[in-house]
Structure 1
Amino acid sequence: MDNLREMLLSIVNNMAKETYRSIVLDILNNPTLTFTSTKPLIQLGESPAAPRKHHFFSGGLLLHTLSVALIARSIAKIFENLYGVDVDEDLVVSAAILHDIFKYYQYAVDDASGGYKPRDDWYLSHDYAIVAELSRRNAPDALIRVVSEAHGIAPFSTIEGLIVHLADSIDARFGEYLQNILLSKLKEIEKEGCNIYKILNELIKRDGLRNVVQEAQKSGLTQKAIAVCKEGADK
């Protein structure tokens, strides 16, 4: 998933406003909660966005983050061009990239399913964690506000908060829709004793979601999944 991180960094480096660019780069380069001694149990790059929900697979969090940033930027341009509203695109993209960044603190590897699960010893939801961390790192108040609005912690008072909220909802729903289609295509191999969540996660780790989707569209996914399942059984 290094390419996803590089794509995110490319977006950030092209921001015009140093105030937002610097704080986003600071967190991407050091995605650590500095107000707690608790350490994450998995790496940011391997984290799902939401186990058994949307983007449940390894690398799902970064993919969701990138998609939300791109969707939010597109919505901002549409609102600007069609409705004539002023939108701070750098603020939109910054909030989109950071809104879920500390979700990986919430998860641990689930050895039983081969995926991920909520960890038992963590006490702070990611939406509050990012607000606390932004405050600790002296982020601009506008960014803290927009991230809070995107998560519903604060009522909408900015167009930027609404845009990030909409982009997040769009990608979460589409991600869940897409993976449900993929899981339905693998349903028949459950009778072979295959864990389809584990198999799909492994296929995405190996080939990337884009390639897995294309394989499914060509009707070649099932045979590939069976082969991966047999590999696991032979180990």
Structure 2
Amino acid sequence: MFEIIKEIKEKKHQEINGEMFIVMEKHFLDAKNGDKYIGLKLKDKSGIIEAKIWKNLYHLHENFKEGDFVKLKAKTNYYKDNWQLIIENIEKIEVDETIKDEFLPKTKKDIEVLTKELFAIINGTQNQAIKKLLLSVFEEDEFFAKFKKAPAAKSMHHAYIGGLMEHTISVAKIAKEIAKFYMPIDTDILVAGALLHDIGKVYEIDASTFNYTNEGKLIGHIVIGYNLVKEKIKNIKLSNEQEVQILHCILAHHGEYEYGSPKIPKTKEALLLHLIDTMDSKMEPLQNIQANETNWSESIKILGRSFFVPKTNKTEELTLF
């Protein structure tokens, strides 16, 4: 249920009539010929699809806004390696919390198992002050309830309920393993940075709509996370050097100024965290890619290109007598 986008990409639908989506983005745009249209990004449990409204723009514009659940009348269209919808009619609908919970995509991993993994990583920290800092963040009930549900992104990677937790643990586990190849390195600083680097996303993205909050739009998860950790550190006996290095990991994890990083990595730990974070965020969208009849996927947004997906033919074994 609620996997119409997946079915569209599998060519099971040519027309949409009454199916439900959530509006992720909505923009008035100009086509190359000068015509105006409304460009949308719609989401359901199975993924995201772009949509366009060419007719009755101003009338239909009044029917809905970003974050609304809507039902559509539309036709499917394949354009520049991606499926899209051409919308004829769109209306806002009201849904209850039960439907919202069922509608939104979720991690396939068990949240309780992920919780145990997270605290095992924290309890494996050797530096007691750093362990205390991490526990002070993740043992706060209100924060952790939000953290468990938060997506790691609106659409780029781990864009599902529990995605932030899954991504955070993945980065921390990879960091612990890779650090062994680049010693000397402060593994506790690196792991702390891995666990804390994205915690601001708890308040950057609304987990019930996957839209950015006002705080997310105006401040962003890097600064939000920095401020959260800075406040917690006030009650922890960290050395000044440890404090600065952990905060630097948070501020530098996007790696480059042009990618919204307030600082570029200037410690081994911060650089390694940035590389691991980038790797995990770019590999996750490739985990379940589907190919068309020519063995190519649709364009992967975070990577800006389609990927070749080999056929998985089994070679029959010949028995010789």
Give the TM-score of the pair, scaled to structure 1.
0.65
Q: Which runs of 5+ in 1 are unaligned?
A: 34-39, 81-85, 186-216, 218-235
Residue 57 of structure 1 is matched in structure 2 by 160
- Cα shift at 1:2: 2.1
Residue 71 of structure 2 is matched in structure 1 by none
More strand by share: 2
RMSD: 2.6
Residue 116 of structure 2 is matched in structure 1 by 6
- 2:150–2:161 CA contact under 8 A, matched in 1: yes
Kindly provide the amino acid, as one letter, of the partner of residue 147 in structure 1.
I
Residue 150 of structure 2 is matched in structure 1 by 47
Kindly provide the amino acid, as one letter, of the partner of residue 136 in structure 1.
E
- 1:76–1:87 CA contact under 8 A, matched in 2: yes
Q: Which runs of 5+ in 2 are unaligned?
A: 1-110, 255-260, 293-311, 313-321
- 2:172–2:191 CA contact under 8 A, matched in 1: yes
Give the TM-score of the pair, scaled to structure 2.
0.48
Residue 176 of structure 2 is matched in structure 1 by 73
Cα 1:177–1:25 shift into 2, 3 Å: same
Cα 1:102–1:174 shift into 2, 3 Å: same
Query: Quick one: distance in 2 between partners of 1:62 and 1:109?
Result: 13
Runs of 4+ in 1 over 4 A off after TM superposition: none
- Cα shift at 1:121: 5.7
Residue 200 of structure 1 is matched in structure 2 by none
More helix by share: 1
Kindly provide the amino acid, as one letter, of the partner of residue 60 in structure 1.
G
Aligned residues: 169
Q: How many percent of aligned residue pairs carry the same amino acid?
A: 26
User: 68, 88, 112: which one pairs with 2:186?
Assistant: 88
Is residue 2:262 matched to residue 1:153? Answer: yes
- Cα shift at 1:141: 2.1
Cα 1:87–1:109 shift into 2, 3 Å: closer
Query: Quick one: distance in 2 between partners of 1:150 and 1:52?
Result: 19
Larger Rg: 2
Q: Equivalences for 1:131-150 in 2 at 5 Å? A: 131-138=226-233, 140-150=243-253
Is residue 2:204 matched to residue 1:128? Answer: no
